[in-house]
A and B are shown apart, each in its own frame.
Chain A
Amino acid sequence: MSTFLGMPAPPPRSPYGTGNLRGDRAFPRAAHDELGNEQLRRNLGRATGTIRAKRLSVTGELSDWEALRDAGSAIKTDTMNRLPELLEQLERKVTERGGTVHWARDATEANAIVARLVRATGSDEVIKVKSMATQEIGLNEHLESVGITPYETDLAELIVQLADDKPSHILVPAIHRNRDEIRQIFRDHIPGVDPDLDNAPAHLAAAARGYLREKFLTTKVAVSGANFAVAETGTLAVVESEGNGRMCLTLPDTLITVMGIEKVLPRYQDLEVFLQLLPRSSTGERMNPYTSLWTGVTPGDGPQDFHLVLLDNGRTAALADALGRAALNCIRCSACLNVCPVYERTGGHAYGSTYPGPIGAVLTPQLAGMHAAKDDPNSSLPYASSLCGACFDACPVKIDIPSLLVELRHQHTEQTGVTPEKLAMKAAAAVMRRPALYAAAQKASALGRVVAGRDGTISRLPPPLSGWSDSRDTAAPPRETFRSWFSSDEGRATLRAAAAERNSDHNEEDAT
């Protein structure tokens, strides 16, 4: 039943040139332009600050938050280990309950399946629940190219779609737009909208409600993603706030759900973990307003024709990487985006992928590769980080994003052959292996103080290190190396004083 013929082969990445897993320029260039957008930085600063505070307050409420993270992380690891059997079980359960399961190797195949299923209903339009998977494969563009009109129904996705824009955040895709811009987008693109519409968020939301209500009530086909799928029971889950998800999932005759193969969970009970981790991590709420759980088809309630499309599109390539596979544990909560100092300043567009921010910088090269083209923009993503570690602390399933970024940087320098950075690292390794040379190099590096400015930083290094200094300031080397300080009179005296202090502390402890 499998193509396993002796030696296992590394699975392919998402094919080059399809979907939305690659920007058209490297991160530093894209970020440079975004940094010039003051409005974007103001919006992002306020939004991420607010959401960070909310998240900390609601996660702090749970005395067992760390135990939930441990459980969530272990459930996902267990899932990846048993993925074939879990997917087969999911397929069996969904089929038993009257659903149909489809498998898609990549974006092109998934798009073709969805288009064929929509055509079979006779409809030339679909309503859509916000979904990262369909954004990743570029489903909307494909449906339009074959004459099917997709309507995004999440308010933020609607704003993005009407403006012919791209999402910039996993959770709040239109976070880069302010209320005045949104009012203008609605006035320009919603037929029959009140020309006196003001910029109050409540009024803008009401305008979207009025526009979409007719679509909800009359469209016969819906497309969604899934937050979770339970192998044990065949139950699918969509987590949302506005009710647009519930509308799409229950009012049409046909429902097509596109889901990455990594979203499966072993047991129904596992929902008790993720229904606590996800809302608190993503919006900082104790629970999102609406969650829909459905299992196949229920006679007399909801769509009577249900299709589940299981998507690979590079996920198996990520799975085959011993370290990188942890990125597949991601539950798309966006907590890492909201704590990231780099994302907060550049916004999501600079990453060029459906998945921005720290997790995007890891997941995107994993799914689509970073050497598929000359100067592949994805090869710049592992460097789009200060490695401060805030994303690791925030991740509800404990993905060690900083370590994965470092590993991807390593893979990048290995792959790209001779670069100034690789030469420098090689030279450093050779010097560090030889103590005498190392000591000499340390003395020489004190010369760096001469080229440093008054603030003690070097803003421009000579080639071959200029690539490094173009994007960051370098701290000047210290006046004295640790080794030379250690062997000086001052160093010895300090160490003696420290040892004496430590001994007297011990004596005090003994006395009490």
Chain B
Amino acid sequence: MSSARDTVLGRIRDALALAPTPAVVVPRDYRTGRALPDDERLALFTDRLLDYKARVHLCTADRTAEVIGEALREHGARRIGVPAGLDAHWLTGYDGEVREDHPDVSPAQLDTLDAVVTGSAAGCAETGTIFLDGSPGQGRRALSLVPDLHVCVVDLSTVAAGVPEAVARLAPERPTTLISGPSATSDIELERVEGVHGPRTLVAVIRTDA
């Protein structure tokens, strides 16, 4: 008896032989390679993030620590998690407990954190999406998921105009998470509720000069 693999592949080849269709060329006439000026990208990105009920803070790079500290204080975060590789300077405006993440930290331990602070890999203005890819300063996927507050620093220079331009910035081999606002559900009578299993609050700190 042949393996399931050989059987299924054989069935596919039989099916294609029984119903051959002409080869197609994929038309890619949709918008790609768009470049919007900084102010337009910022306005669009901010508008979309707010539409998704994310909190948005704009700042210059030299005020990063100050703005992160304010956001954590505002939400009463007293113990936070950070990925290895996060710029230590970013936390100089915060006086609570800081735990650096590593792979042996259990999900239950992550659940004791009030908040997490991370950087980001890219953004998409048209959809209000932030991309995390696990690079230094962003951490593993569980870290930005379990705590209830996610403070995420986004450099405007990494925010692309649309989805094709943003996807082009990704590294396929890296575990990647696309975030558009906080966790949400519309499963009960289609009424949108923010905050189910993921972070209930997303604070995007957009650095306009970085």
Chain A residues within 8 Å of B, Cβ to Cβ: 1-4, 8-12, 43, 46-47, 50-51, 63-64, 67-68, 70-71, 74-75, 77-78, 80-81, 83-84, 87-88, 97, 102-105, 109, 153-156, 159, 172, 174-175, 178-179, 182, 201-202, 204-205, 208-209, 212-213, 216-218, 230, 232-233, 235, 241-244, 246-247, 249-251, 261, 268-269, 271-273, 275-276, 283, 285-295, 298, 300-302, 310, 312, 316-317, 319-322, 325
Contact = CB atoms under 8 A, between A and B. Distances in A.
Contacts of B64: none
B76 interface: no
Given A63-B31, A71-B27, A247-B197, A316 B11 contact: yes
B9 interface: yes
A175 B188 CA distance: 7
Given A4-B13, A109-B4, A320-B19, A289 B30 contact: no
Contact of B8 (A216, A295, A310): A310
A11 B14 contact: yes
Given A2-B9, A84-B13, A87-B9, A74 B190 contact: no
A182 B18 CA distance: 49
Contacts of B140: 250, 300-302
Nearest to B180: A287
Interface in B11-37: 11-19, 21, 23-32
A286 B11 CA distance: 38
B38 interface: no
A198 to B, nearest CB: 12
Interface string B84-122: 000000000000000000010011100100000000000
5 contacts: A67-B27, A243-B183, A272-B163, A288-B180, A291-B177
A190 to B, nearest CB: 15
A88 B9 contact: yes
A230 B10 contact: no
Given A216-B197, A289-B183, A81 B21 contact: yes
Give the size range of B's interface with the partner.
35 or more
Contact of B190 (A47, A104, A298, A322): A47
Those 6 A-B pairs whose CB atoms lie nearest each other, nearest first: A243-B198, A3-B10, A320-B15, A2-B10, A8-B14, A316-B11
Contact of B7 (A105, A208, A261): A105
A262 to B, nearest CB: 10
Interface stretch (B55-63, B65-73, B168-176): B168-176
Nearest to B102: A300
Given A11-B11, A273-B30, A241 B184 contact: yes
A268 B187 CA distance: 30
B179 A290 contact: yes
B103 A300 contact: yes
A316 B8 contact: yes
Contacts of A67: 27, 29-31
A286 B180 contact: yes
Contacts of B145: 243, 246-247, 250
A319 B16 contact: yes
Nearest to B3: A103
Q: In the complex, which of the residues B30, B126, B179 has the most CB atoms of chain A within 10 Å of its own CB atom?
A: B30
Interface string B179-194: 1111111111111010
Q: In the complex, which of the residues A243, A291, A317 has the most CB atoms of chain B within 10 Å of its own CB atom?
A: A243
A172 B190 CA distance: 8
A209 B196 contact: yes
Nearest to B176: A293
B3 to A, nearest CB: 7
